[in-house]
Amino acid sequence: MLTQRPRGTADLLPGEVEQWKRLEDIFRAVSRTYHYQEIRTPVFEHTELFARGVGETTDIVEKEMYTFEDRGNRSLTLRPEGTAGVVRAYVENKLYGLPDLAKLYYVGPMFRYEKPQKGRWRQFHQYGVEVLGSEAPEVDVEVIAFGAEFLTKLGLKDVQAEVNSVGCSECRPRHREAMVEKLRPVADRLCKDCQSRLDRNPLRIFDCKNESCQAILREVEAPTVLQCLCDACQSHFSAVTELLQEVGVRFVINDRLVRGLDYYTRTAWEFTVPGYSTVAGGGRYNGLVAQIGGPETPGVGFAGGIERALLVLQEQGAAVTERSPLTAYVAVADAQASQTATKLLQELRCAGISADRDYQGKGLKAQLKAADRVQAKYVLILGEEELKSGTVSVKDLATGEQVTVARNEIVSYLSDLQNSSGVVEHDQM
C-alpha cells in the first residue's frame, strides 16, 4: 500500500505537468483580458457551507462529499466545488463593500467520492470564474463568452454552449406544482432517488442519470422551467440569448438542462463539444450570497475540469504543451571543461535562458541525444579547442548549422536569439 496512490487520484508526471501548466497559463491570460483577479480559498470548509449552499438534495451533498470531524469535533468537508468557498470568502472579507464588481477566478483541486472512471477522479482539478454584484444579462453573456473563448484558445474544436433558464423563487414554485401533478401518478415507477426528489425538489429529476426516469419525463410530458418562467425571468433569458447571438457565441437552447447544484437561478449552461459529454458549465446564483449570511447580492460564474478538458483535447488530436522560447544544452566534450560549463550554465540561467547539462559523464554523442530529448534548440559545445581559444561552439539542432562565439559574448548572443524567438502554444499530435 505504501507504493500505491489512493483510488481515484493520479500522479502528474513530467511531460503531463507541462500540459497542465500551459492550460493554466491560457486560462490566466484570458482572465487578465477580461479583467478578473485570482482568489485562493481553503481546500476544506465547514460542512454546513456546502449543505446549505450546494443543496441538501443534490448528489454532491447526499453521496459524494468527503466529510470528517477534526480534533475539535467540528464537521469539515473537502471542497467538492469552488463557488461556495469563493462566496464565503466574498462575504467574510466584505468584498461587497468595494465600489466595483468582484470579478474573480480560481484554479485548484476539488474532491468528490464517486466511482473513478475515464476523465473522472475523486481528487480532480477545476478552473473557474465568479462575478458578484450585478444581475444584468450582459454579465451572464460575458461569463459565457469568457468560457467559450478559453476553451477555443485551449484548442478544443466546435465548442458550443447549451443554455437554459431555471427560473427564480417566483416561478420555480409554479414549476414544482406542475411537475408534482404530472409525476405523482407514476411516482412508483421512478427510481428511489427521484421518488425522494419528487417530494423535496422535483426539478432535480431532470438531472437523473437513470434512462427510465428520463423516459417517464417524456412520457408524461413533464413541464420544463422555460414553460413556467415569470415575466422577469423570461425577459432576462431573452436578453441573454439575443446578446449571445450579437457577440457571436455558438449556442443552443436546452430546456431540460438544470445542472447539478441547487443554488442556480435563471441562466444555466454547459459547454459541450460533439461526441463528448460536458467539458464545463455554470450559471447564475442570485440567492447564494444571502443564503450563507451576506447581503442580497447577485452572482454568476462557471467552472470546468482540467482533467476533462485535457482528455477531450487529446482525443480530438491536439495537445497543449509548454516550451521555452529557447533551450540551451551545455555539452562537455573535454573533462577539463566541466568547471567552465558549470559557470556558463549559471550565467545562462541568471539571464533567463533555460539551460541544462550532463552530470553523468556521458560522451558527446550521448549528450547530443540528451539535448534532443529535452527539446533543446542549441547545444553549446565546450571541448579542448574551445578552452584554448576562449570560445563556445553553438550548434543549431534544427538546422545542423554550427557557429563559433566568443566565450564572453555567448550570453548576449543567446539573449538576442531568445528575444527574436516565439512560443509554440499548440502542437498537433
- Are 299 and 347 in a shared domain? no
* Average pLDDT score over the chain: 89
* Rounded Cα–Cα distance for residues 154 and 322 (Å): 12
Segment 16-51, tens digit of pLDDT: 898 999 999 999 999 999 999 999 999 999 999 998
Is a pLDDT exceeding 60 seen at residue 81?
yes
Question: Could you list the residue range(s) of the whole structural domain that residue 381 is in?
Answer: 327-423
* Rounded Cα–Cα distance for residues 219 and 245 (Å): 33
- Are 246 and 285 in a shared domain? yes
* Rounded Cα–Cα distance for residues 171 and 231 (Å): 9
Between strands 327-332 and 354-357, the pairing is parallel
- Are 114 and 263 in a shared domain? yes
Structural domain ending residue among the three candidates 284, 299, 319:
319
Would 6 be classed as within a structural domain?
Answer: no
- Are 148 and 278 in a shared domain? yes
pLDDT band for position 421 (50/70/90)? Answer: low
Report the run of H or E that residue 231 belongs to, with start and end: helix 231-247
Would 389 be classed as within a structural domain?
Answer: yes
Structural domain ending residue among the three candidates 285, 319, 353:
319
Other C-beta atoms lying within 10 Å of the C-beta of residue 45: 19
* Rounded Cα–Cα distance for residues 148 and 397 (Å): 38
Would 217 be classed as within a structural domain?
Answer: no
Segment 344-382, tens digit of pLDDT: 999 999 888 888 999 989 999 999 999 998 889 999 999
Please state the domain count of the chain: 2
- Are 164 and 300 in a shared domain? yes
388's grid cell: 584554448
- Are 371 and 351 in a shared domain? yes
The position carrying cell 444581475 is: 135
Would 429 be classed as within a structural domain?
Answer: no
The pTM of the whole model exceeds 0.75: yes
Would 179 be classed as within a structural domain?
Answer: no
Would 392 be classed as within a structural domain?
Answer: yes
Amino acid 260: pLDDT:
63
- Are 98 and 236 in a shared domain? yes
* Rounded Cα–Cα distance for residues 374 and 117 (Å): 32
* Rounded Cα–Cα distance for residues 318 and 304 (Å): 18
Question: What average pLDDT does this structure show over 278-284?
Answer: 94
% of the chain with per-residue pLDDT over 70:
95
- Are 233 and 350 in a shared domain? no
What secondary structure letter does DSSP report for 360? S
CATH of residue 356: 3.40.50.800
Amino acid 319: pLDDT:
65
* Rounded Cα–Cα distance for residues 85 and 75 (Å): 15
Is a pLDDT exceeding 70 seen at residue 325?
no
pLDDT band for position 262 (50/70/90)? Answer: confident
Question: What average pLDDT does this structure show over 325-347?
Answer: 89
Structural domain ending residue among the three candidates 297, 319, 341:
319
- Are 315 and 374 in a shared domain? no
* Rounded Cα–Cα distance for residues 210 and 254 (Å): 19
* Rounded Cα–Cα distance for residues 249 and 302 (Å): 15
| Cross-strand partners of 281 | 270, 303
- Are 110 and 145 in a shared domain? yes
Amino acid 429: pLDDT:
35
Would 167 be classed as within a structural domain?
Answer: yes
* Rounded Cα–Cα distance for residues 39 and 21 (Å): 18
124-to-107, 117, 167, 320 alpha-carbon distances in Å: 11, 12, 30, 18
- Are 391 and 308 in a shared domain? no
CATH of residue 234: 3.30.930.10
Would 141 be classed as within a structural domain?
Answer: yes
- Are 376 and 246 in a shared domain? no
Whether residue 320 contacts residue 143, with contact meaning beta carbons closer than 8 Å, is answered with no
pLDDT band for position 316 (50/70/90)? Answer: confident
